[in-house]
Amino acid sequence: MASEPARKRVAVLISGRGSNMVALIEAAKDPAYPAAIALVVSNVPDAEGLKRASAAGIATAVVDHRAFGRDREAFERALHAKLVEHRIEIVCLAGFMRLLTPFLVREWEGRMLNIHPALLPEFKGLDTHARALAAGAKRHGATVHFVVPEMDSGPILVQGSVPVEPDDTEAALASRVLAVEHRIYPLALKALAEGRVRLSAGQCLIDGVPAEQFWQRQS
Ligand code: GRF
């Protein structure tokens, strides 16, 4: 009998509640899913998501950035050592609130994803929902992209959008977008873990097709 290909060992990096982390853990419960969540790391010792990961039986680690003062690279070296120790192959940032230096980005080039709550390249940075409302955006959403040195700027793997309703509050819009995040992050990780994703000239190809076209064909 042919043996199944090994599932990719994934670490999820969090700083807070970890709802995207939970979405990835849930997806990986399916034995057919090509990735296993092997580790959750937080830079915040009391992050709520750590408890949720432990409850799901997943190994957790804390690398507290405050222990490294202003030396961001020293923090990242400690974090990287944890990832290596756990034989991690893919890293998913999920509400990980640290700006990364070129050190970590280079170490994980092409193997590190982030989820951002906006339709990049619009609304990079923080407070995306309030800014989308203030700008009168008709649609808003979320993006999973590869991490590059410039924040919220890497090749886009998948996007999902929702309408902005006329009477939307920031909270209502945030929760509509969050549901999209929970749907698209597992899809993006699946494609990457299956080895179907290639980066070419700063663009993301899936099965050789530009990512946007690939997902349009799926829908
Ligand atoms: C999400 O909106 C994510 O897009 C952003 O930070 C938030 C994290 O939420 N990067 P959670 O911790 O996954 O619930």
Q: Does 1 have pLDDT greater than 90?
A: no
Six-digit token string for 69 = 């003062």
Name the β-bridge partners of 37. Answer: 10
* Predicted TM-score (pTM) above 0.75: yes
| pLDDT for position 2 | 63
Please list the helix, strand and coil fractions of the chain in percent, rounded to the nearest 5, in that order.
Answer: 35, 25, 40
Give the DSSP letter string of 191-209: HHHTT-EEEETTEEEETTE
Return d(Cα 166, Cα 184) in angstroms, integer.
25
Instruction: Tell which atom from ligand 1 comes closest to the C-alpha of 181.
Output: 4
**Ligand 1 pocket, Cβ-based, cut-off 6 angstroms:** 14, 16-21, 49, 94-95, 115-117, 142, 178, 181
Confirm whether 65 is a catalytic residue: no
End-to-end CA distance of the chain: 34
Long-range CB contacts (< 8 A, 24+ apart) of 160-163?
A: 160/184, 161/119, 163/138, 163/139
CA of 116 to the centre of ligand 1 (A): 7
Six-digit token string for 70 = 């202003």
pLDDT band, very low/low/confident/very high, at 219 (cuts 50, 70, 90)? confident
Domains defined along the chain, listed by start = 1-108 (3.40.50.170), 115-219 (3.40.50.170)
pLDDT in tens, 31-68: 999 999 999 999 999 999 999 999 999 999 999 999 99
